[in-house]
Structure formats: C-alpha cells, structure tokens
Amino acid sequence: MNNQETIFIVDDDQVILKYLSTFFSKNGWDVESFESSKEALERVKIKQPILIITDLDMPGMDGIELIRNVKSNEKFENIVLLVMTALNENHIRFQSFKAGAIHLVNKPINPYELEAAVKSILNQFSKKTTDLPTVNTPQAIRKSAVETWIHEAEQIVLDNLTSADFSLDELAVALHYSRSAVQKRIKQFTNLSVSKFIRSIRLEKSLEYMMEEENSIATIAHKVGFKSHSYYTRCFKDYYGIDPVKKRRELLRESIIHI
C-alpha cells in the first residue's frame, strides 16, 4: 500500500477532523481535511484523492449528497467512499450504500480500526481492479453494470408494490437469477438482506404518497404493499426513526416552505 496516495477527510466537527487528520498524517498518509462537503467537492475537481472518508450529518450538503455528486461524475468514478456516522437508522445505511459508499463505520471512531478498514478496502479495491480484464471493460462499465442491476431489481419491486407477498422467489424469477445469487448480489451491493431491500423500497416509495394529502396513512400502507396499518407504522418507525404521521407533517411543512 502506498500511503502517499491522498485521502480526504470530511467532517464539520473540527475536533474530530483535526484528530483523524493528525492520526493519518503521522502514519504516513497524505491527508487533506475539509469542514464541509462543498469544500471537499470543489477540491476533488482539482486534486482527486484515492479515498474519501466523510461524515453524514453535516449542514448544507450532507455526506450522502457529497457521495452522489462524486459518483455522478465519470471523472471521479475510481474514488472510494467510506462513511462515518453517529446515525444508526436503517435508512441511513441503505441510502449511503445506494449512493455509492462501500463501507460504513459508527462513531465514536477508533482511528486504528478506521485505518485498518481503509487499508483493507483499498487492498480489495486494487485487487478487484487488477483481477478484471481491462480490454473493453473500463471501470465505468463495471460500475454501470452494478447500478443497472440494482435499478432493475428496484423497478421489479416497484412494479409489484401492492403485492404484500412479493418475495425473494418472485424477484429471482423476474431477474432470471437463482435465489442464492440474488441474495448474494443484493447483500454485496446494498449491504441489506433481500427482505430489508424490498421493505426499504416500499418505505421510500411511501414518502411520495405522503405528499398526496388525500391519502390516509392506512391507504399509503396498502399502496406500498403492507398487510396492515400497524405493521407499516412499526416498520416505518424502525426505518426512519419517526412515526409516519409526524414524518408526513414534516414533509408537507417543508414543501410549503420551499414553494
């Protein structure tokens, strides 16, 4: 591992930022630190790091938006993104991996464990890149293939949204893969089990229905394939950390503010 390859660390907490930057610098890494995602994104356009370690909960552009911005630009597709967060909600993990992060560590951060994760990730990333044939298979094609497969899986779930019994078996048939292959791929690409992957899509779609005021919570639950209002509410609170009624009020209030 060549520690002189640059890594970026992004966190609005100045104490954590200085602590981690000092730790990695003393261990031979070329480190640049940023107190905001916007600063980091501007710097990426000038100097591309091999890896970005970013916090999620930051004012302005949060960590997930930073990841999406980096991954949406083909010039930056080789940058590896690692997330650190004190937020434990399931949807935070799903959104992070969906945006393009490949690893998540929980705060408070142990710098030795974080460095070990960075080394392991970069070693794996380097091995995967060198093991794959390079002729007609640039990184953009490999990345696109993963995104296309996940998008297809998501669309199949959405096409069967009102079917409360839609499961791994039906998803595997629609994707033309074996059950075990679908399980393995979804776990690898999203870090979720198939059941949680399907449920997360249902719950995220329910946010759209919440913006239609004529829909009751019970109606929304039915529209996204939950067998009961109570089960939907329980899953929603577990995923978002808030009651669906309160979440709906927040969404509607925000929509009014942005008009």
| CATH of residue 162 | 1.10.10.60
* Dist. CA 122–CA 24, nearest whole Å: 15
Confidence category of residue 4, pLDDT binned at 50, 70, 90:
low
Residues 112, 40, single domain; the answer is yes
Q: How many domains does the chain have?
A: 2
Check residues 119 and 147 and name the one with the higher pLDDT: 119
Residue 50 lies inside a defined structural domain of this protein: yes
Q: What's the domain range around 113?
A: 6-131
Which ranges constitute the DSSP H helices of the chain?
14-26, 37-44, 63-71, 90-99, 111-131, 139-159, 168-175, 179-190, 194-210, 217-223, 229-240, 244-257
CA distances from 202 to 62, 101, 172, 219, 222 (A): 24, 22, 18, 13, 10
pLDDT tens digits for 82-103?
998 887 666 777 778 778 888 8
Choose one of 131, 149, 184: the last residue of a domain: 131
Predicted confidence at residue 257, as pLDDT, reads: 56
CB proximity list for 215: less than 8 A, separation 6 or greater: 209, 223
Residue 202: name the closest of 237, 169, 164 by CA.
164
Token couple for 81: 């993104």
Angle, in degrees to the nearest 10, between helices 90-99 and 194-210 = 100
Q: What is the mean pLDDT of residues 101-106?
A: 83
User: Whole-model pTM?
Assistant: 0.58
Residues 12, 116, single domain; the answer is yes
Contact in structure between 183 and 168 (CB atoms under 8 Å): yes
Q: What is the mean pLDDT of residues 179-197?
A: 87
- pLDDT value at 240 more than 50: yes
Confidence category of residue 36, pLDDT binned at 50, 70, 90:
very high
| Least confident window among 79-88, 107-116, 142-151 | 142-151
Predicted confidence at residue 181, as pLDDT, reads: 86
Contact in structure between 166 and 158 (CB atoms under 8 Å): no
Residues 123, 191, single domain; the answer is no
Predicted confidence at residue 127, as pLDDT, reads: 52
Paired strand residues for 31: 7
